[in-house]
């Protein structure tokens, strides 16, 4: 497939995965009181990253984060918006940096770190009185994002095995 044509095909595939990710984010399995939820929204981005690699995965994550802001996600501060959306979703692209499970773990650590930093700096007021906001943010964000990664990662890995047999990957 010629390079320009391949790029267009990859962009269309990425756009579809981003759209599916956003749609899946509206079907919460569990919602946290101060924001965040457990859902399968990372699964399409993980699959896209596996298929297309680090560069395309990071770009899809950034676009997904920006679209989430435009669709009305909670923005308290411009730096918080960047940490919680484009930057954190860019880390989903790290899934392609290493073999499947290690890539998922690195990706999760990056994404969770963005949310913990944002929470500790911009949402410290939600920490119980006397509790360190960094500890509170770590305890609040880690379980939610970890469960989201585990569920989305399991489904993505199962689907990847089926897709690997049936879909061509254009290099």
Phi, psi dihedral angles at 31 (to 5 degrees): -120, 135
Q: Note the pLDDT of residue 168.
A: 60
pLDDT in tens, 102-118: 999 999 999 999 999 99
Contact call for residues 36 and 144 (beta carbons, < 8 A): yes
Residue ranges with strand state E in the chain? 30-31, 37-38
Residues of the chain with pLDDT under 50: 171
Neighbours of 149 (CB within 10 A): 24
Instruction: Give the domain ranges of the chain.
Output: 3-19+38-166
- What is the reported pLDDT for 54? 95
| C-alpha distances in Å from residue 160, one per residue of 25, 70, 169 | 20, 30, 12
The gap between the terminal CA atoms of the chain, to the nearest Å, is 9
> β-strands 37-38, 30-31: how paired?
antiparallel
- Report whether CATH 1.10.1760.20 matches the domain 3-19+38-166: yes
Amino acid 169: pLDDT: 55
CB neighbour list of residue 3: distance below 8 Å, 6 or more residues apart: none
Are 142 and 116 in contact, with CB atoms under 8 Å apart? Answer: yes
């Amino acid at each position: 497939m010629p390079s320009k044509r391949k790029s267009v095909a990859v962009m269309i595939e990425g756009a579809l995965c981003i759209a599916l990710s956003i749609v899946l984010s509206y079907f919460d399995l569990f919602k946290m009181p101060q924001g965040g939820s457990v859902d399968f929204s990372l699964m399409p981005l993980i699959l896209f990253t596996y298929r297309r690699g680090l560069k395309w995965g990071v770009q899809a994550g950034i676009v997904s984060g920006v679209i989430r802001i435009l669709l009305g996600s909670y923005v308290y501060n411009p730096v918080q918006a960047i940490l919680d959306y484009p930057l954190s979703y860019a880390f989903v692209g790290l899934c392609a940096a290493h073999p499947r499970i290690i890539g998922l773990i690195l990706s999760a650590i990056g994404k969770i770190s963005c949310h913990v930093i944002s929470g500790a700096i911009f949402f410290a007021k939600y920490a119980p009185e006397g509790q360190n906001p960094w500890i509170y943010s770590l305890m609040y964000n880690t379980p939610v994002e970890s469960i989201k990664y585990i569920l989305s990662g399991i489904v993505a890995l199962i689907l990847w095995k089926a897709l690997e047999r049936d879909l061509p990957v254009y290099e």
